[in-house]
Amino acid sequence: MIRFLHTADSHLDSPMRGLEAYEGAPVAALREATRRAFEGLVALALDEQVDFVVIAGDLYDGDWRDFSTGLFFTRQMARLHEADIPVYLIAGNHDAASVLTRRLTLPPNVHAFSTRAPESLTVPGRPVVIHGRGFPHRAVPENLVPDYPAPVPGSLNIGLLHTSLTGAPCHDAYAPCTLRDLTEKGYDYWALGHVHQPQVLARDPWVVFPGNLQGRHIRESGPRGAWLVTVGEGREILAAEHRHLDVVRWARVMVDVAGLADPTELPGRIGEALQAALADADGRPLAARVTLTGATARHDQLKRDLPQVRADCLGQAQVVAGDGIWVEEVEVATTPLYDLADLAARDELTGIVLEALHAAGEGDLALPAEAQEMLRVLPPEIRSDIEAELRGEGRAALLGDVRAILLETLARRGGAE
Amino acid sequence: MRFERLAIPAYGPFTGFVLELPAEGADFHLIYGPNEAGKSSLLRAIRDLLYGIHGQTPDNFIHDYKDLRIAATIAAADGRRLTFQRRKGNSRTLLDAQGEALPDDALAGWLGVVDRDFFTTVFGLGAEELRRGAEALLHGHGELGQALFSASLAGTPVHRILAALEAEARTLFNGRARTNVRIRPAIAAYEEAQRRSKEAVVRPEAWEAVQRALAEAGAERDRLDAELLARRQRRDWLQRCLDALPLLGRLAEQEGRRRALPDLPEVAPDFVATTEAALAARVRAQAETDRLRARIALLERRVQDSEPNAAVLAEAAVIEALHQRLAVYRQWCDELVGLETDGADAEQRLRGGMRDLGVEGEPEAVEALRVQAGDAPRLGEVATALDTAEAARQANRDAAQQAREDLERSEARLAALPEEEVTALRAALSATAGAAESAKGLAEREAAVATARAKVDRQRDLLSGAPGEAAVACALPVPAAATLRQHEAERERLGRDRERVAERLAEAEERLRQIDGQGRQRPTSIEPPPLAVDLAEADVVAQAEELRLQGQEAEAARSAAQAEAATCEAALADWDRRWRGLWAPCGLTPATPAEMLDWRDQWLELRARDEAWRAAVDELARARTEVDTALGLLRARLPPNLPEVQGASLVELRALAEGRVRAADQAQGARVTLQGQADDQRLELARCEAAEPGLAAALTEARAAWAEVGAGLGLPPLGTAAGLALLEQRRQLVAELDAWMGLCRQIAGKRQAVADYAAAVDSAAERLGLPVGVVQVREAALWAALEAARAQRTRRDQARTDLTDEQAQRPGLEQALADAERRVAEACAEAGAEDGVGLAALLDQLKGRQGIDTEIARLREALHVAARGEPLDAFIERVRAEPADALAAEAAGLDQAIAAHQAERDRAIERLAGAQEEGARLERTGAEAAEHRQAALATAAGIRQDAARCLRLQLAQHFLREQIERFRRDSQAPLLARAGALFAAITAGRFEGLGTAFTADDTPVLVGRRAGREVAVEAMSDGTRDQLYLALRLAAIERHQRHHEPLPVIFDDLLATFDDGRAAAILPILSEFGRTSQVLLFTHHRHLVEIARAGLPPDGLHVHALADGEPAAERG
C-alpha cells in the first residue's frame, strides 16, 4: 500500500486580508498562519508516515521577496528529509515570478520539475512515476498536457500540473486545458494546483484540486488543507481524504433579522450565529464576516447605525469566544419592508430625494469635493476598491446604503429619536 | 377626505360621545374644552380610528380592551362616503356600521400612502411643534432651501440632519485635519507599516553573503584549532615533566634511606600497632582496678554514718497537716481583729441613731420601728399627686396673665399701621421693566454702534484693491466660494497632472537608460537558436528578446508622456485666462485661488461687520423710543405733588415707585401678621379661664389622701417633704440594727477556730519533747525536725545504691587486666624479645622502617597524577630522558605562543558568531517583514471600511443638500409667494411679505419685508418667527393638499403662546383654510372662542364645546 500527500497553493507568508485590527482581536492567532498551516502539513506527513509528498505549485507569493520565507520552506523540507520522505514540486505562476524559486538551495529530498519541458521522476523503491512541468513564466497561455509523457505501464502514474483548467470562476487562465485532456491522458491521479477551492473533478481517473492550505480572505472561507491519498497493491486509489490543516477558519456568518421586533434582541441573534460558526470551525480561531439578512422594518436603521451594529458584533464575539473570533466585516444585507414607490408618492420631498438617488444610479455620479479629496489621499490600492463601488453593481449597493442612511436620518429628524 | 361625524362609543374617557362636523360654510371647527376635558384623548382617538388602536393603549381605564370602539363617517371630494368603526385587535379591526368586518385595507383608498407617523407630523401642528420649527429656522440662519424643505417636511430640522451626517463623516475624514479623525492617521500608519515591511525584507544576496562569511569564518577557526591543539599537547607534556621532577628527586632519596636500614625480623604488617595497643590496654586496666577498690571502701563508710530519726518520721503526717493549716490560722487571727473593731463601730452608730429618734433601752428596741414593704411606695404616690395638683393650678394662673398682656400689646401695634393703594403704580412698574433694561444699556449700545463702525472701517482697510466706500465694497459681485474652490481644485489637479506626467517621463527615460545598460552586456540579435543549442543559451536569447520588447514599451511611454505634458501646459494657460475673466467684473487682478479665497473671507467679514453696524444703529433707536414711553407712564402714576418726580430719569422714577410699592406691601404684610397673633392670644386667655375650677377641686382631693396615709404609718401631721424624710430616717436605723447583729455572730465563730489549732500544735510538740513556746514557734520547730530526718534518710539510700553499682563492675575490670597481660606476653614471644623493655626498643626500629615505605608509596601515588594513566615506571623513564634544565624555558616560550594563537582564534570565533548572529537576525527580520505587511493590511482594512462609510455619509449629505436646493428652485416661487401672503396676513400687515436675500457666500436666505426693508430671520422676535414658521407650514400643507386627496388638518392648542392680537390675525386664515380642507382647532382658552366669534363671519367657523366628554355644537 502506498500513501502520499497532495497539496498546492500554500502561498507562504501571504498575509490575511481584510481584517482590521481592533482591541480584543485575536492578532496572535493569525500571525504567520500560512507557516503554521504548512508546519501542520509536514507534521501530517510524518505522523501518517507517507511515502512521498507532491506540491502542485504556488509555494510563495510572486511579489514577496523575503528570503526568510524560502529558508522556512527548506527547514520544513529538512524535517521530511530526516524521515526519508521525498517531495516532488512544480513551480506555479506565483513561483515563476518569485525570486525565492531561483535563489533557494533545496534539500536533497526535494525534486523540482523542469520548467522547460515535462519530465518524469520515479519515486525510489515504489512503483510510482510522477510526471510534471513547472511554470517558466508568470503567464503560460498554452496547454501543457499534450506534451506530458505517456504513462509508464505497471506503475502508478501521477500528473503534477498547475492549471486553471478552462478558467475557473474568479481566476485567470493559466496553462489552460480541459478535463477531458486530463482524463484521457491515461494517468491514475492528476494532482492539480492553482484553484484555491478544494474540489474533486473526477474519480476515474482522479482529478483533484486540493485548494490552498490556509484561507487568507473572506472569499477563501471554509475548511482548507491537503489530500491524503491511499493507493492499493493494484495501484488503484483506495481512498482520498481531505485533511483540514488551516489554523484559522474563514467563515461567512449569516444572521437572519427578519421579524426582529425588539432591537435589543439583535446582539443575542448575532451571538447565536457566531457560536454555531465557531462550533463548525473545530476549535480553530474564526475570521468571520457577519451578514445581517432578511426583510425588516429596521433596514434603514441598521444601515444608519452600522458602527453600533459593528460594536454589537465585536461585543458578541468577545462574549462567545473571547479572543477566538476576529470580526472581519459587518455587512447589512437586509431588505426594507416599505415600497419605494409608495414613499415617493407620499410626499414631494421624499419623492425628489428618491428620484435623485435613482437618477444617480445611471450616468455620471458627481462626487462632492470632500469625497474627491478623501479619494485623492487614499493609497491607490484602497482607492481602487472604493472607486469600484462607484461603478456597476457596486454603485447600486452604494446608493442603496446612501438611501437608507438618508431615509433613516430624515425619519429620525437628525437625532436619535 | 373630511370627517362628517365622529362617534366614540367606548374609548378613553368617552362613552357614547358624538361630534357632528357639518360642512356648511368654512369647514373650520374650533373645539373648546377646559383641561382634562378629553382633547388629547380625542386626538388619539382620531389617529387610532384611521390607523388602528395601539396594542398597549392607555385608553382602557374605563372600558376594557375588547370593548373599545371608535366610529366615523367620512366623505371624499368626489362624493364618496363611508361609515365605519374601529375595534382593538391584531387583524380585521375595521367594521362597517352594522359591525360586520371590513377588509383591513378598506381605508387605503382614502388615506393613500399617508401612514400614521406622516399623518401625525404633517397634518398635525401644536404650539410645541411651532416653537421647534421656529428655532430650526433660527439655527438654519434662514437658509431658504432648508426653511422651505423643513417646513414642508413637518418641521424636520434639516440643519440638524446635515450636521449629524457631517459630524459623523468628519470623525472619519475632515480635509487636512489629522487629529480627531480616523482615515488620515490610519493612512500614515499604513504607509509606515509598508515601509517597515520593505526595510525588513531579507534579500537573497544578503543571505548568501552571510552564508559565505559563515563558511570562511568556520574554516579559519578549524585551522587555528588544529594548530593550537598541537602546541597545547606539547605544553601539557612539559608541565607534566615539570610537575614530576621534584617528586622523582624525593623518591630517589627515600629509596636510599631504605637500603641503609639494618636487618629486622619480619613481622605482620600490623604488629607494631597491635603490640602498642596491648601495652596501653594493660596500663589502663591496672589504673581502673585500683580506682574501683578505693571507691567501694568509701561508700561502705557512708552507709554506716547515715541513719535518720525514726520518731520524727513517725509523726510526719501530723506535722505536714499542721504546717499546711498554718497560713489559714494566721488569716483567722487577722480577720478576728478587724471584726471586733467593726462590731464596736456599728454598735456606736446604732446607739447614736436611737438617740436622734428618741428611742430608749438596748439596741433590740429599734425593731419596733420596722415598716411593712408596701406602705412606703403608697406614701410616695400620694405625695407626688399632691405636688402635681398644686403645680398645675399655678401654671394655669401664670398663662392667663401672660395672654392678657400680649393681647393688649398686639391691639396697640395694629392701631398704629398706615394704609395706601398702589395697584396702578405696580402695573406701571411692570409695564416699564423692559424699558428700564433698555435705558441701562443705552450707553453700551451707543458704544457698540461706534465700535461696529470702527470695525467696518478697519476691515475695509484690509481689503486690497476694493473701493474705498464700505457700502460699495460690500456690493461687489465677488464670485462664490464654491466657484473659487472649483478653480483651485482644477488648478491643483492640473498641477498634479503636470507633475505626474513629468514623473512618468522621467521614469520612461530612466527605464530606457537601464535597458541600454543591460543591452551592452547581452546579445542584441535574436537569431533563432540552432536545434543543437542547449537550453541555457535559449534562455539568454529569450531574455534578450524580452529586453528589446521592454525597450520599445519604454520608448512608447516616453512619447506618450511628452504629448501629455504639452496638453497639460495648454490646459494651465486656459485656466489662467478663465481665472482672470472671473474677477474682471470686480475690477480686480486676482492672485492665486488660495489667496483670493482668503481675500474673499476678508470681504465676507466686511459684509458681516457692515450688517452688524446697521443692526446696532436700529437697536439703539428702538431702545430710545422705549425709554421715552416708559417715562410718560410712570409720571402719570406717581402723585404730581412730589418734588422728586420732575426732571428725574427713568431709573430714578422706577426706584421712587418701587420704594412706594414696597412700603405699602410691607405695611399690608405686618397687618395680616398682627391680626393673626391677636386672634391666637384671645383663644389662649379663654382656654386658661375655663380650666381654673377643675384644677382647684383636684388639689383638695390630693391633700385629703396625704393626711390619711400619714396617720396610718404613725407619722405626725407634716407636709409631703418632711413626712417622707422622717420615714427615710426610720428605715436607715433599722438597717443599722441588722448590720450590728450580723457582726456579733462572725466574731464568735472565729475565736473558736483559733483555739482549736493551738491545741493541736501543742500536743504534737509534747510528744517529740520539743521546748515550750508560742504556737507559731512550736509549729516551726516541728517542721524543721521533719525536714532534717527526711534529708538524712535520702543520703543513706543513695550511698547504698552507689555501692551496689561499683561492686558489680569489679569482676570485669580484673578480667580486662588479665587479658592485656596475656597479649603482651604473646608479642614478646613473636618478636623474640625477652621482656617488655626489649619489646619497646624493637618497636621503635620497626616504626622507622614503616615510615620510609609509606613515603615511597605516597610519592609514587603522586607521580600517578602526572603520568595520567601511563604505566608509572615507563613515565618515570620518559621524564628522566628529558633535559630537565631546559624544560622551564621551553614551557615559557610555548605559553607565549599559545596566548597569541588563542587571541587569533578568538577573533575567528567572533567573526563566526557575528556571521551566525547576522543570519539569525535576517531570519528574525524576515518574520518581521511579514508581520509588518500583515499590520499594513489590517490597517488598510480599517481604512477601507472607514472610507466606504465616509463616502456614504458624504454622499448622503451631498444628495440632501442638492435636493434641498432643487426643491428650493422648483418650489421657491409659488411657495414663497403663498407663505409671504400668509405671513402678511398673520402679522396684520406689519410685514408686507417674504423675500430672498443672499449671504456672503451666495446662499439664498429667507427674509421678511417690512417697510421696504429686509428683515433677517435672526433679527425677528420669537413671536414673529413663530408666525413666519406657521405661514411656511400652512403654505406647505396647502401645496401638499393640492397634489393629494386632502386630509383633515388638526391644530392642537396652536395659538396657546399667541397674544390676542396675533390670534385674531390668524383665525381668519384658518377659516379661509377651511374652505379647501377640513380644519380642527383644539383649544382650552375660552377667550379664543370669543375672539373667533368677534372676528369671523357667522359661516366662518363651527364651535364645539367639549365638557366631560360631551360635545355641544354651536354655530360661530
Segment B897-949, tens digit of pLDDT: 999 989 999 998 998 999 889 888 877 666 788 888 888 988 999 999 999 99
CB nearest to B947's CB, from A17, A328, A386: A386
Q: Residue B144's pLDDT is what?
A: 62
- Partners of A398 on chain B (C-beta within 8 Å) are 951-952, 955
Q: How far is CA B340 from the centre of its chain?
A: 81
What is d(CA B556, CA B562) in angstroms, rounded to the nearest whole number? Answer: 10
A391 touches chain B (CB under 8 A): no
> Is the confidence at residue B607, as pLDDT, over 70?
yes
Lowest mean pLDDT among A305-309, B921-925, B957-961: B921-925
**Where a domain ends, among A195, A215, A244?**
A244
pLDDT digits (tens, 9 = 90+) for A119-166: 999 999 999 999 999 999 888 989 999 999 999 999 999 999 999 998
Best B187, B499, B959 member to test A by mutation, with max A CBs in 10 Å, is B959
pLDDT digits (tens, 9 = 90+) for A88-124: 999 999 988 787 777 788 899 999 999 999 999 999 9
CB contact under 8 A, A67 and B935: no
> Is the confidence at residue B425, as pLDDT, over 90?
no
Whether residue A186 sits in one domain with residue A49: yes
Shortest alpha-carbon distance between residue B189 and chain A (Å): 12
Q: Residue B733's pLDDT is what?
A: 82
CB contact under 8 A, A413 and B160: yes
pLDDT-derived band at B388 (thresholds 50, 70, 90) equals confident
pLDDT digits (tens, 9 = 90+) for B104-143: 888 888 887 677 777 777 777 777 777 777 777 667 666 6
**Grid cell of B197 as nine digits:** 515591511
Q: Residue A289's pLDDT is what?
A: 94
Task: Give, rounded to a whole angstrom, the gap between the first and last alpha carbons of chain A.
Answer: 72
CB contact under 8 A, A374 and B112: no
- Partners of A370 on chain B (C-beta within 8 Å) are 169, 173, 175, 954
CB nearest to A65's CB, from B114, B201, B489: B201
pLDDT digits (tens, 9 = 90+) for A356-390: 888 888 877 888 999 999 999 999 989 999 999 88
Whether residue A310 sits in one domain with residue A189: no
CB contact under 8 A, B956 and A409: yes
Pairwise pLDDT comparison (B460 vs B421), residue with the higher score: B460
Whether residue A269 sits in one domain with residue A231: no
CB nearest to B923's CB, from A68, A116, A360: A68
The percentage of residues in chain A with a pLDDT greater than 70, rounded to a whole number, is: 96
Whether residue A207 sits in one domain with residue A105: yes
CB contact under 8 A, A367 and B966: no
CB nearest to B202's CB, from A66, A373, A399: A66
Whether residue A350 sits in one domain with residue A378: yes
A359 touches chain B (CB under 8 A): no
A15 touches chain B (CB under 8 A): yes
Q: Residue B1052's pLDDT is what?
A: 83
Identify whether the C-beta of residue A244 lies closer than 8 Å to the C-beta of residue A225: yes
Q: Residue A51's pLDDT is what?
A: 97
A173 touches chain B (CB under 8 A): no
Instruction: Find the farthest-apart pair of alpha carbons in chain B and give their distance in angstroms, rounded.
Output: 177
The alpha helices in B178-203, defined as continuous H runs, are 183-200
Please state the domain count of chain A: 3
Q: Which helix (H) or strand (E) holds B1010?
A: strand B1004-1010
Q: How far is CA B96 from the centre of its chain?
A: 61
CB contact under 8 A, B201 and A69: no
Shortest alpha-carbon distance between residue A299 and chain B (Å): 16
Identify whether the C-beta of residue B93 lies closer than 8 Å to the C-beta of residue B86: yes
A137 touches chain B (CB under 8 A): no
| Ranges of each domain in chain B | 302-369+718-831, 381-446+614-693, 467-587
Q: Residue A343's pLDDT is what?
A: 76
> Is the confidence at residue B240, as pLDDT, over 60?
yes
CB contact under 8 A, A381 and B929: no
CB contact under 8 A, B947 and A378: yes
Best A17, A63, A67 member to test B by mutation, with max B CBs in 10 Å, is A67
Shortest alpha-carbon distance between residue A112 and chain B (Å): 17
**Where a domain ends, among A244, A275, A304?**
A244
- Partners of A27 on chain B (C-beta within 8 Å) are 938
Among left, alpha and beta (phi > 0; psi -120 to 50; other), residue A211 is left
Whether residue A167 sits in one domain with residue A66: yes
What does chain A come to in residues?
417
pLDDT-derived band at B527 (thresholds 50, 70, 90) equals very low
B373-378 mean pLDDT: 76
Whether residue A149 sits in one domain with residue A27: yes
B1076-1096 mean pLDDT: 87
Q: How far is CA B103 from the centre of its chain?
A: 57
Cβ-proximal residues to B142 (8 Å cutoff; 6+ apart), any chain:
B1005, B1006, B1007, B1016, B1017, B1018
Q: Residue B524's pLDDT is what?
A: 43
Residue with cell 438597717: B735
Q: Which helix (H) or strand (E) holds A291?
A: strand A286-293
In which domain, by residue range, is A114 found? Answer: 2-244
The percentage of residues in chain B with a pLDDT greater than 70, rounded to a whole number, is: 94
A294 touches chain B (CB under 8 A): no
Shortest alpha-carbon distance between residue B42 and chain A (Å): 25
pLDDT digits (tens, 9 = 90+) for A150-159: 999 999 999 9
CB contact under 8 A, A414 and B156: yes
Identify whether the C-beta of residue A258 lies closer than 8 Å to the C-beta of residue A295: yes
> Is the confidence at residue B439, as pLDDT, over 60?
yes
What is d(CA A217, CA B1037) in angstroms, rounded to the nearest whole number? Answer: 54
CB nearest to B955's CB, from A99, A342, A371: A371
Strand partners, B468: none
Instruction: Find the farthest-apart pair of alpha carbons in chain A and give their distance in angstroms, rounded.
Output: 84
pLDDT digits (tens, 9 = 90+) for B788-824: 888 888 887 888 888 888 888 888 888 888 888 888 8
> Is the confidence at residue B711, as pLDDT, over 80?
no
Q: Residue B1047's pLDDT is what?
A: 84
- Partners of A340 on chain B (C-beta within 8 Å) are none
A23 touches chain B (CB under 8 A): no
Nearest CA in chain B to A101: B204
B530-537 mean pLDDT: 50
Nearest CA in chain A to B190: A379
> Is the confidence at residue B528, as pLDDT, over 50?
no
> Is the confidence at residue A417, as pLDDT, over 50?
no
pLDDT digits (tens, 9 = 90+) for B994-1046: 887 777 766 777 888 888 788 888 888 888 888 888 888 888 788 777 777 78
**Grid cell of B991 as nine digits:** 410685514
Residue with cell 608509596: B857
Average pLDDT, chain B: 83
CB nearest to A382's CB, from B923, B940, B966: B940
Residue contacts between A and B (CB atoms, under 8 Å): 203
Nearest CA in chain B to A30: B934
A166 touches chain B (CB under 8 A): no
Best A370, A387, A395 member to test B by mutation, with max B CBs in 10 Å, is A370
Identify whether the C-beta of residue B440 lies closer than 8 Å to the C-beta of residue B688: no
**Where a domain ends, among A313, A337, A361?**
A337
The alpha helices in A56-134, defined as continuous H runs, are 67-82, 93-97, 99-103
CB contact under 8 A, A371 and B951: yes
Q: Which helix (H) or strand (E) holds B396?
A: helix B375-415
Q: Which of B289, B41, B73 is nearest to B1110 (CA)?
A: B41
B261-265 mean pLDDT: 77
For residue B152, the one-letter residue type is S
A372 touches chain B (CB under 8 A): yes
Cβ-proximal residues to B697 (8 Å cutoff; 6+ apart), any chain:
none
Cβ-proximal residues to B951 (8 Å cutoff; 6+ apart), any chain:
A371, A374, A386, A389, A398
> Is the confidence at residue B741, as pLDDT, over 80?
yes
Residue with cell 570562511: B216
State the Rg of chain B over Cα. 67
Q: Residue B538's pLDDT is what?
A: 57
A30 touches chain B (CB under 8 A): yes
Shortest alpha-carbon distance between residue A62 and chain B (Å): 14
Nearest CA in chain B to A376: B493
pLDDT-derived band at A290 (thresholds 50, 70, 90) equals very high
CB contact under 8 A, B175 and A373: yes
Q: Which A residues 43-72 touch B at CB under 8 Å?
A: 65-72
CB contact under 8 A, B161 and A356: no
CB contact under 8 A, B948 and A17: no
Q: Residue B610's pLDDT is what?
A: 87
What is d(CA B1102, CA B358) in angstroms, rounded to the nearest whole number? Answer: 113
CB contact under 8 A, B161 and A413: yes
What is d(CA B686, CA A19) in angstroms, rounded to the nearest whole number? Answer: 94
- Partners of B157 on chain A (C-beta within 8 Å) are 413-414
- Partners of B960 on chain A (C-beta within 8 Å) are 353, 406
Q: Residue B639's pLDDT is what?
A: 78
Identify whether the C-beta of residue A371 lies closer than 8 Å to the C-beta of residue B951: yes
Q: Three-class SS of residue A255?
A: strand
A367 touches chain B (CB under 8 A): yes
Q: Residue B307's pLDDT is what?
A: 76
A328 touches chain B (CB under 8 A): yes
Q: Residue B85's pLDDT is what?
A: 94
Pairwise pLDDT comparison (B424 vs B46), residue with the higher score: B46
pLDDT digits (tens, 9 = 90+) for B143-187: 666 666 666 665 566 777 788 889 989 999 998 888 889 999 999
Average pLDDT, chain A: 89
Q: Residue B532's pLDDT is what?
A: 45
**Grid cell of A268 as nine digits:** 443575542
User: Crossing angle for the helix pair B887-986 and B1060-1073, nearest 10 degrees?
Assistant: 80
> Is the confidence at residue A262, as pLDDT, over 80?
no
Q: Residue A87 is part of a domain; what is its CATH number?
A: 3.60.21.10
DSSP annotation of A265 reads: G
